[in-house]
């Protein structure tokens, strides 16, 4: 399989007045064509910032890619001008956001909003555009697609709006779909419908997907490979079975163990002590060291490199003895 997206050693800085924070530190991952890559982490771990960087949507004044590269389909996203980015966004890479309630403009009809990317990226006649829109709306399982295009967002339910958002992302047949918490705002039964739909579309179209979520259940359900992020860096990367069967990083282990379904009913859940450090509290060592039950002197003073076992990579000093062999960056 070829790599559709490569993120190499990405570093992003945010400037807020005089203070500079670095929410993204040395992030590496790849998305292969046709696969679903899950990015999992808690709020503030940098998963959304990373996805915005891939879309070239970082706020230009307050943020900066200080190091590293984002290579999509052999093009360097981080070097592109706004105009080049516009040609890629919504066309070759598109994005689904968390909030289906606010991601659609309330004053335009569904049809008008879906028309926009087609006008921008494809040279189609008006009739062809309408046909394409109806085709995509049917593909995402919207009943009465012909009528829906003349309706306004407020006339649709949350689940329907998220379907419309997905159809908006699919219109130009992108190569990469970035879904940022696509089902977090939805109810479980609707979530099941949407996940089912996304899975079907990926299987049918040979598209790749970057699925960003905090929900390990959604990861288990959907992904082929998983990247675990913590406090702005990738701590573990593995295939989904490998990650759930044999997590290497203490953070991943803790997350999996703290799921209520992994604990005996009514017992105290396993929990990771403490809380995620703020970006300005990070020191020299491993970002997880202050919460880690296995932390040693070395963890506090030096940031661990990536250790790998076959396709399974993790950033943790514990693997030094057990696994051996430093993965070169």
- Is 7 or 218 the residue whose CB approaches other proteins more closely? 218
Applying the rule CB under 8 A, the residues between 148 and 207 that interact with other proteins are 157-160, 187-193, 195-196
- Is 9 or 275 the residue whose CB approaches other proteins more closely? 275
Do 214 and 43 contact (CB within 8 A), yes or no?
yes
- Is 150 or 196 the residue whose CB approaches other proteins more closely? 196
Which residue from 266, 280, 293, 310 is in contact with other proteins, where contact means CB under 8 A?
266
**Structure tokens belonging to residue 25:** 């530190």
Rounded (10°) angle between helices 188-205 and 158-170: 20
How far is it, in rounded angstroms, from Cα 296 to Cα 307?
17
Q: Does 238 bind other proteins (CB under 8 A)?
A: no
Q: Where is 114: in which H helix or E strand? A: helix 110-121
- Is 88 or 148 the residue whose CB approaches other proteins more closely? 148
Rounded (10°) angle between helices 110-121 and 158-170: 10
How far is it, in rounded angstroms, from Cα 14 to Cα 203?
37
Give min distance, CB of 157 to other proteins, in A.
4
| Window of 7-15, 107-115, 199-207, 211-219 that interacts with other proteins by CB under 8 A | 211-219
How far is it, in rounded angstroms, from Cα 6 to Cα 102?
30
Give min distance, CB of 13 to other proteins, in A.
19
Of 148, 146, 171, the closest CA to residue 161 belongs to 148
Query: Which positions lie near other proteins, rule CB under 8 A?
Result: 17, 42-43, 157-160, 187-193, 195-196, 214-218, 220-221, 223, 240-241, 244, 254-255, 258-263, 265-266, 268-273, 275-276
């Amino acid at each position: 399989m070829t790599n559709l997206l490569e993120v190499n050693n990405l570093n992003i800085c945010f400037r807020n007045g005089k203070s500079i924070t670095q929410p993204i530190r040395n992030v590496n991952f790849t998305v292969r064509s046709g696969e679903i890559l899950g990015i999992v982490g808690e709020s503030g771990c940098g998963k959304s910032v990373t996805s915005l960087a891939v879309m070239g949507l970082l706020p230009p004044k307050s943020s900066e890619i200080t190091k590293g590269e984002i290579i999509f389909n052999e093009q360097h996203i981080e070097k592109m001008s706004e105009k080049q980015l516009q040609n890629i966004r919504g066309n070759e890479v598109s994005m689904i956001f968390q909030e289906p309630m606010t991601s659609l403009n309330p004053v335009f009809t569904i049809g008008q909003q879906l028309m926009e990317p087609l006008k921008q990226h494809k040279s189609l006649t008006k009739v062809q555009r309408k046909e394409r829109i109806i085709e995509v709306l049917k593909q995402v399982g919207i009943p009465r697609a012909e009528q829906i295009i003349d309706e306004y967002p407020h006339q649709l339910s949350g689940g329907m709006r998220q379907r419309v958002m997905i159809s908006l992302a699919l219109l130009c047949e992108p190569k990469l779909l970035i879904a940022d918490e696509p089902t977090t705002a939805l109810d479980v039964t609707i979530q099941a419908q949407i996940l089912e739909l996304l899975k079907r579309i990926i299987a049918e179209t040979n598209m790749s997907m970057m699925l960003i979520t905090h929900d390990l259940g959604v990861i288990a359900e959907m992904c082929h490979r998983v990247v675990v992020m913590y406090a702005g860096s990738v701590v573990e990367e593995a295939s989904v079975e490998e990650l759930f069967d044999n997590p290497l990083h203490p953070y991943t282990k803790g997350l999996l163990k703290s799921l209520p379904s992994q604990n005996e009913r009514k017992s105290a859940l396993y929990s990771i002590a403490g809380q995620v450090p703020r970006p300005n509290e990070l020191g020299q060592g491993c970002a997880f060291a202050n919460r880690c039950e296995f932390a040693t002197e070395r963890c506090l003073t030096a940031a661990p490199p990536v250790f790998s076992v076959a396709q399974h990579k993790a950033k943790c000093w514990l693997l030094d003895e057990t696994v051996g062999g430093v993965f070169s960056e």
